[in-house]
Chain A
Amino acid sequence: LAKTTQPISMDSYEGQEVNITCSHNNIATNDYITWYQQFPSQGPRFIIQGYKTKVTNEVASLFIPADRKSSTLSLPRVSLSDTAVYYCLVGGDYNQGGKLIFGQGTELSVKP
């Protein structure tokens, strides 16, 4: 499964837009790009998933360029409660059973 690279940590302030970019140079044709959020002492929570171009839901947007070698999670107007670890994952195709390979994640700290 493709390896992902993302910043270890990021700082932001309330009300700002936060963009977290993930590199996945070896992404395969059948791979999807998925982002999860994890708060301390909790299991990860699904944020968004995409295959190409742009996906938007009520929580975030996911931008995927044509070559799919990277992706950017965009969180609009973050609040203190968005402080968490964000994981970028590549994979999940049927042939791999949907298993997720987590990297170290990006620890986002939102300050007042």
Chain B
Amino acid sequence: GAGVSQSPSNKVTEKGKDVELRCDPISGHTALYWYRQSLGQGLEFLIYFQGNSAPDKSGLPSDRFSAERTGGSVSTLTIQRTQQEDSAVYLCASSFFSGPNEQFFGPGTRLTVL
């Protein structure tokens, strides 16, 4: 079946512009997670959704970052007024429920801020 998909796969933007990153989780997965991976680094948790609500936003680096999820499915991560330090691969994962179970990751969106 279809896995987690993310779009765009690559995004190049200029400093100060806003960007939107999209995640389509596996159908039926109630939990959705956003992570960020900078070059040569491990993954950094950003936010997770259970259904359409986000019980944990603790990983969002600043108020320029926001995310929403609609219909218990698609999620959008928005970065406003992008900065060069926002350059990274943004990964989305989904799982059947939020808890100790397998998370399925998408291929990621590579964001480059010039």
Contacts and interface: CB of A to CB of B under 8 A. Distances in A.
Interface stretch (A13-21, A38-46, A58-66): A38-46
B99 A103 contact: no
Contacts of A105: 42
A48 to B, nearest CB: 10
A45 B93 CA distance: 10
Q: Which of A46, A51, A98 has the most CB of B within 10 A?
A: A98
B43 A100 contact: yes
Interface in B49-91: 50, 55-56, 59, 91
B48 A43 contact: no
B48 A99 contact: yes
Contact of A92 (B4, B99, B104, B106): B99
Given A34-B100, A43-B105, A92-B99, A99 B56 contact: yes
B99 A43 contact: no
Interface in A74-100: 87, 92-94, 96-100
Contacts of B95: 98
Contacts of B93: 43
Contacts of B33: 98-100
Contacts of B56: 96-97, 99
Interface of B: 4, 31, 33, 35, 41-45, 48, 50, 55-56, 59, 91, 93, 95, 97-108
Interface of A: 32, 34, 41-46, 49, 51, 87, 92-94, 96-105
